[in-house]
Amino acid sequence: MTSLGYLISKLALLRHRFKWLGKGAWVHHSAMIQGAANIEIGEDVIIGRNAMIYAADGAPIKIGARTVIHPYVLISADGGFVQIGEDCSINHFGVFHGSGGVKIGNGVRIAHNVAVVSSNHIFKDRQVPIRLQGVTSEGITIEDDVWVGGAAQIMDGITIGRGSVIGAGAVVTRSIPAYSVAVGVPARVIKNR
Protein backbone atom coordinates (compact mmCIF):
# COMPACT_ATOMS: atom_id res chain seq x y z
CA MET A 1 0.00 0.00 0.00
CA THR A 2 1.31 3.47 -0.84
CA SER A 3 1.88 5.95 1.96
CA LEU A 4 -1.06 8.02 0.63
CA GLY A 5 -3.30 4.93 0.65
CA TYR A 6 -2.20 4.17 4.20
CA LEU A 7 -2.97 7.74 5.31
CA ILE A 8 -6.43 7.67 3.68
CA SER A 9 -7.16 4.36 5.40
CA LYS A 10 -6.11 5.75 8.78
CA LEU A 11 -8.35 8.78 8.27
CA ALA A 12 -11.27 6.47 7.44
CA LEU A 13 -10.67 4.54 10.67
CA LEU A 14 -10.43 7.72 12.74
CA ARG A 15 -13.80 8.97 11.53
CA HIS A 16 -15.50 5.96 13.17
CA ARG A 17 -15.47 4.86 16.78
CA PHE A 18 -15.64 1.10 16.54
CA LYS A 19 -16.50 -1.08 19.52
CA TRP A 20 -13.22 -2.87 18.81
CA LEU A 21 -10.62 -2.32 16.11
CA GLY A 22 -7.79 -4.84 15.92
CA LYS A 23 -4.20 -4.02 15.11
CA GLY A 24 -3.48 -3.91 11.37
CA ALA A 25 -7.14 -3.62 10.34
CA TRP A 26 -7.66 -1.68 7.12
CA VAL A 27 -10.94 -0.06 6.07
CA HIS A 28 -11.06 1.55 2.64
CA HIS A 29 -11.95 5.24 2.83
CA SER A 30 -15.02 4.71 0.61
CA ALA A 31 -16.52 1.98 2.84
CA MET A 32 -19.85 3.03 4.33
CA ILE A 33 -20.07 2.33 8.06
CA GLN A 34 -23.09 3.05 10.27
CA GLY A 35 -23.28 2.21 13.96
CA ALA A 36 -19.54 1.75 14.36
CA ALA A 37 -19.97 1.56 18.15
CA ASN A 38 -21.66 -1.83 17.59
CA ILE A 39 -19.00 -3.20 15.23
CA GLU A 40 -15.96 -5.26 16.25
CA ILE A 41 -13.20 -5.67 13.68
CA GLY A 42 -10.40 -8.16 14.37
CA GLU A 43 -6.69 -7.89 13.66
CA ASP A 44 -5.56 -7.62 10.03
CA VAL A 45 -9.13 -7.46 8.68
CA ILE A 46 -9.48 -5.81 5.27
CA ILE A 47 -12.71 -4.04 4.32
CA GLY A 48 -12.72 -3.12 0.64
CA ARG A 49 -13.95 -0.11 -1.25
CA ASN A 50 -17.65 0.68 -1.18
CA ALA A 51 -18.39 -2.12 1.28
CA MET A 52 -21.45 -1.25 3.39
CA ILE A 53 -21.59 -2.31 7.04
CA TYR A 54 -24.68 -1.25 8.99
CA ALA A 55 -25.18 -1.76 12.72
CA ALA A 56 -27.00 1.51 13.33
CA ASP A 57 -29.97 -0.14 15.05
CA GLY A 58 -27.79 -1.24 17.97
CA ALA A 59 -27.44 -4.81 16.71
CA PRO A 60 -23.86 -6.14 16.74
CA ILE A 61 -21.55 -7.06 13.89
CA LYS A 62 -18.29 -8.91 14.55
CA ILE A 63 -15.64 -9.65 11.93
CA GLY A 64 -12.86 -12.05 12.97
CA ALA A 65 -9.13 -11.66 12.47
CA ARG A 66 -7.61 -11.88 8.98
CA THR A 67 -10.99 -11.86 7.26
CA VAL A 68 -11.32 -10.03 3.94
CA ILE A 69 -14.53 -8.21 3.04
CA HIS A 70 -14.21 -7.46 -0.69
CA PRO A 71 -15.64 -4.37 -2.43
CA TYR A 72 -19.39 -3.80 -2.63
CA VAL A 73 -20.36 -6.31 0.08
CA LEU A 74 -23.42 -5.38 2.17
CA ILE A 75 -23.52 -6.53 5.81
CA SER A 76 -26.51 -5.34 7.83
CA ALA A 77 -27.40 -6.48 11.35
CA ASP A 78 -31.09 -5.56 10.81
CA GLY A 79 -31.96 -5.83 14.49
CA GLY A 80 -30.30 -9.25 14.89
CA PHE A 81 -26.56 -9.87 14.53
CA VAL A 82 -23.87 -10.86 12.05
CA GLN A 83 -20.82 -12.75 13.28
CA ILE A 84 -18.07 -13.66 10.80
CA GLY A 85 -15.21 -15.87 12.00
CA GLU A 86 -11.48 -15.67 11.42
CA ASP A 87 -9.68 -16.24 8.11
CA CYS A 88 -12.83 -15.83 5.99
CA SER A 89 -13.24 -14.34 2.53
CA ILE A 90 -16.48 -12.60 1.53
CA ASN A 91 -16.36 -11.74 -2.16
CA HIS A 92 -17.81 -8.92 -4.24
CA PHE A 93 -21.53 -8.05 -4.09
CA GLY A 94 -22.36 -10.45 -1.23
CA VAL A 95 -25.47 -9.56 0.79
CA PHE A 96 -25.82 -10.50 4.47
CA HIS A 97 -28.93 -9.57 6.48
CA GLY A 98 -28.80 -10.55 10.14
CA SER A 99 -32.36 -9.96 11.38
CA GLY A 100 -32.62 -13.57 12.61
CA GLY A 101 -28.88 -13.82 13.25
CA VAL A 102 -26.11 -14.88 10.87
CA LYS A 103 -23.18 -16.85 12.26
CA ILE A 104 -20.29 -17.72 9.94
CA GLY A 105 -17.48 -19.94 11.24
CA ASN A 106 -13.73 -19.83 10.64
CA GLY A 107 -12.03 -20.37 7.30
CA VAL A 108 -15.23 -19.91 5.27
CA ARG A 109 -15.00 -18.95 1.59
CA ILE A 110 -18.00 -17.14 0.12
CA ALA A 111 -17.93 -16.33 -3.59
CA HIS A 112 -19.38 -13.31 -5.40
CA ASN A 113 -23.11 -12.41 -5.42
CA VAL A 114 -24.06 -14.74 -2.54
CA ALA A 115 -27.13 -13.77 -0.48
CA VAL A 116 -27.46 -14.84 3.16
CA VAL A 117 -30.78 -13.47 4.46
CA SER A 118 -32.00 -14.61 7.88
CA SER A 119 -35.66 -13.68 7.51
CA ASN A 120 -38.56 -14.62 5.27
CA HIS A 121 -41.92 -13.06 4.40
CA ILE A 122 -45.12 -14.66 5.68
CA PHE A 123 -47.60 -15.14 2.83
CA LYS A 124 -50.23 -17.65 4.08
CA ASP A 125 -53.28 -15.38 3.98
CA ARG A 126 -54.32 -14.55 0.40
CA GLN A 127 -56.71 -11.88 1.68
CA VAL A 128 -53.92 -9.84 3.31
CA PRO A 129 -51.12 -8.21 1.28
CA ILE A 130 -47.81 -9.98 1.82
CA ARG A 131 -46.20 -6.76 3.03
CA LEU A 132 -48.66 -6.68 5.95
CA GLN A 133 -48.24 -10.29 7.10
CA GLY A 134 -44.87 -9.84 8.78
CA VAL A 135 -41.73 -11.94 8.63
CA THR A 136 -40.14 -14.91 10.34
CA SER A 137 -36.52 -14.75 11.51
CA GLU A 138 -34.91 -18.05 12.53
CA GLY A 139 -31.24 -17.44 11.78
CA ILE A 140 -28.52 -18.95 9.61
CA THR A 141 -25.35 -20.79 10.63
CA ILE A 142 -22.47 -21.56 8.27
CA GLU A 143 -19.98 -23.73 10.12
CA ASP A 144 -16.15 -23.79 9.75
CA ASP A 145 -14.35 -24.54 6.47
CA VAL A 146 -17.35 -24.13 4.14
CA TRP A 147 -17.12 -22.99 0.51
CA VAL A 148 -20.20 -21.28 -0.93
CA GLY A 149 -20.14 -20.91 -4.74
CA GLY A 150 -21.06 -17.81 -6.70
CA ALA A 151 -24.65 -16.52 -6.68
CA ALA A 152 -25.82 -19.09 -4.13
CA GLN A 153 -28.79 -18.13 -1.94
CA ILE A 154 -28.91 -19.26 1.70
CA MET A 155 -32.44 -19.11 3.09
CA ASP A 156 -33.55 -18.47 6.68
CA GLY A 157 -33.44 -21.28 9.23
CA ILE A 158 -30.52 -23.10 7.58
CA THR A 159 -27.34 -24.64 8.99
CA ILE A 160 -24.57 -25.56 6.57
CA GLY A 161 -22.37 -28.19 8.22
CA ARG A 162 -18.63 -27.99 8.62
CA GLY A 163 -16.50 -28.68 5.56
CA SER A 164 -19.39 -28.54 3.08
CA VAL A 165 -19.38 -27.18 -0.46
CA ILE A 166 -22.40 -25.34 -1.88
CA GLY A 167 -22.40 -25.19 -5.68
CA ALA A 168 -22.68 -21.99 -7.68
CA GLY A 169 -26.26 -20.81 -8.13
CA ALA A 170 -27.66 -23.18 -5.50
CA VAL A 171 -30.69 -22.17 -3.43
CA VAL A 172 -30.28 -23.73 0.01
CA THR A 173 -33.74 -24.30 1.51
CA ARG A 174 -32.85 -27.00 4.06
CA SER A 175 -29.89 -27.67 6.32
CA ILE A 176 -26.85 -29.40 4.83
CA PRO A 177 -24.95 -32.07 6.83
CA ALA A 178 -21.22 -31.70 7.49
CA TYR A 179 -18.81 -32.56 4.66
CA SER A 180 -21.51 -32.56 1.99
CA VAL A 181 -21.50 -31.26 -1.57
CA ALA A 182 -24.87 -29.69 -2.41
CA VAL A 183 -26.03 -28.23 -5.73
CA GLY A 184 -29.18 -27.16 -7.52
CA VAL A 185 -32.48 -25.38 -6.99
CA PRO A 186 -33.46 -26.32 -4.40
CA ALA A 187 -30.04 -27.53 -3.25
CA ARG A 188 -29.65 -31.24 -2.65
CA VAL A 189 -26.68 -33.25 -1.43
CA ILE A 190 -25.06 -35.11 -4.32
CA LYS A 191 -22.09 -36.58 -2.45
CA ASN A 192 -20.00 -36.46 0.70
CA ARG A 193 -16.42 -35.23 0.88
Instruction: Assign 108 to helix, strand or coil.
Output: coil
Side chain identity at 115, as an amino acid letter? A
Q: 63 near 85, Cβ under 8 Å? A: no
This prediction's pTM: 0.90
* Kind of pairing between the strands at 135-136 and 115-117: unpaired
Pick one of 2.160.10.10, 2.60.40.4070, 3.90.1170.50, 2.40.50.140 as the CATH number of 1-110: 2.160.10.10
Q: Which tens digit of pLDDT belongs to each residue from 104-151?
A: 999 999 999 999 999 999 999 999 999 999 999 999 999 999 999 999
Question: How many CB atoms lie under 10 A from the CB of residue 163?
Answer: 17
- Which position among 28, 70, 92, 121 bears the catalytic label? 121
Could you confirm whether 16 is annotated as catalytic?
Answer: no
Q: How confident is the model at residue 57 (pLDDT cuts 50, 70, 90)?
A: confident
Q: What residue spans define the domains of the chain?
A: 1-110
H or E stretch covering 10: helix 3-14
